[in-house]
């Protein structure tokens, strides 16, 4: 089992920044995982945002966050960070951290992820 705990959500004005954190724990968490972020806006389907492989640091992200969002990991803390800059009202959603077993690629589909956090609300006001 892998447990994921997100933090860092909140309310921010358009153009502002937020950093989300996701702390991973559990006996089965290892370097053969990718940690990713998904989001789900009210009335919409969940969508992939960005992810990183734990070992090699390979990343993938959706086009709508290119140049604005970055993902990083702190191996000592078993924590992945989502830095969100130039936030837009369209970024408003519940953000979920998720973990997927992988070795050499970055999963981008929700069904590839085995473990999920509880989610944290991000609200961007115009």
- Length of the chain, in residues: 126
What is the model's pLDDT at position 32?
87
What is the model's pLDDT at position 27?
76
Contact 99, 24 (CB under 8 A): yes
Q: Taking all residues of the chain, what is their mean pLDDT, rounded to a whole number? A: 95
Using one digit for the tens of pLDDT, what is the confidence trace for 66-118?
Answer: 999 999 999 999 999 999 999 999 999 999 999 999 878 999 999 999 999 99
Which of 16-20, 46-50, 53-57, 83-87 comes out lowest in average pLDDT? Answer: 53-57
Q: Using DSSP, state whether 68 is helix, strand or coil.
A: coil
């Amino acid at each position: 089992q892998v447990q994921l705990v997100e933090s860092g959500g909140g309310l921010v004005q358009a153009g502002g920044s937020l950093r989300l954190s996701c702390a991973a724990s559990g006996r089965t968490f290892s370097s053969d995982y990718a940690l990713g972020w998904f989001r789900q806006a009210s009335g919409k389907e969940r969508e992939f945002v960005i992810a990183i492989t734990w070992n090699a640091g390979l990343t993938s992200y959706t086009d709508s966050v290119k140049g604005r969002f970055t993902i990083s990991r702190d191996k000592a803390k078993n924590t992945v960070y989502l830095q969100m800059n130039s936030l837009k009202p369209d970024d408003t959603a519940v953000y979920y951290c998720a973990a997927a077993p992988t070795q050499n690629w970055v999963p981008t589909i929700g069904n590839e992820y085995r473990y999920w956090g509880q989610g944290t609300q991000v609200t961007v006001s115009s």
